[in-house]
Amino acid sequence: MLDVQDITVAYSSNAEPTIEGFHLEMKPGEICSIVGESGSGKTTVIRSILGLLPSGGKVTKGDILFEGESLLQYSKKQWRELRGTQISMIFQDSGAMINPIRKIGSQYVEYIRAHKNISKKDAFDMAVEMLEKMRLPDGKRIMESYPFELSGGMCQRVGIAMAMTFQPKLLLADEPTSALDVTTQAQIVRQMMELRDDFGTGVIVVTHNIGVAAYMADKLLVMRQGKVVDSGQREDILHNPQSEYTKNLLASVPALKGERYV
């Protein structure tokens, strides 16, 4: 489904490339976590996949294939058609997607109609159906709510529902749980894991929390200073990390119930 082939990414304002030789292959429905400290380049990787690098940022080497096609050759129009339908993104807090002073319903309807030519009524029904598919109770009431009437966790779940509306093949999640308390984090993590079972969606989760990363992932990539220092199947990385950096990260995870939580 996704094949990121040894990309180098540079920002024109920096002398050195920000990412070098990043490689990732994902099959449909796979969950991949990218973990690393602040500034290691995690966000730059997922912005590259979505064609949303800030100005001055560019993939200078390698290629990104999605369903066999090079995304780097895509026109702006093709990117627009792809985003939200084939590849979606959710953010640290849904604030980036949801306007705090408009009802959820009008925003959700507008989002759907930006991608699909249907009436407001049909879009409303589609949104309610999606919220309920995502196991959010009382979709109609959520549609009638302002974001400030919902908890942070609920807003994030609505953000995930919106991103999943068109059942994308790939969901990119940038620190999706770090703005939430621990109990709500667990709910969001479970919800993202269910996407694979419910929709066959592949997920890339970017996080600085190796516990969350390892819990969710089939595949784990550890980044440091723009380079991948460990990558592979979760079990291999947990039991046989190659880099000192990953070994230290794993050693810092507290043991829970006699087992390592990760």
Binding region for ligand ATP (CB under 6 A): 11, 13-14, 18, 36, 38-44, 54, 56-57, 208
Give min distance, CB of 144 to ligand ATP, in A: 34
What six digits make up the tokens of 229?
A: 């220092």
Closer of 43 and 94 to ligand ATP (Cβ) = 43
Name the residue nearer to ligand ATP (CB basis): 57 or 168: 57
Distance CA 226, CA 10 (A): 10
- Least CB distance to ligand ATP at residue 205 (A): 12
Q: Amino acid letter at 135?
A: R
14/70 with CB nearer ligand ATP: 14
Q: In the chain, what is the straight-line distance between the N-terminal and C-terminal CA atoms, in Å?
A: 27
> How many residues are recorded in the chain?
262
Burial 51-74 (b: 16+ CB within 10 A, else e): bebeeebebeebebebeeeebeeb
Which residue, among 72, 87, 79, has the nearest Cα to 5 in the 3D structure? 72
Closer Cβ to ligand ATP, 47 or 113, answer by number: 47
Minimum CB–partner distance for residue 39 and ligand ATP (Å): 4
Among residues 33 and 107, whose Cβ is nearest to ligand ATP? 33
Q: How many CB atoms lie within 10 A of CB 144?
A: 12
Nearest approach, Cβ of residue 46 and ligand ATP (Å): 8
Minimum CB–partner distance for residue 99 and ligand ATP (Å): 23
CB 124 within 8 A of CB 117: no
45 vs 71, beta carbon nearer ligand ATP: 45
Q: Strand 2-11 vs strand 19-26: parallel, antiparallel, or unpaired?
A: antiparallel
| CA pair distance 200, 170, nearest whole angstrom | 9
Minimum distance from residue 8 beta carbon to ligand ATP (Å):
13
Q: How far is CA 152 from its chain centroid?
A: 17
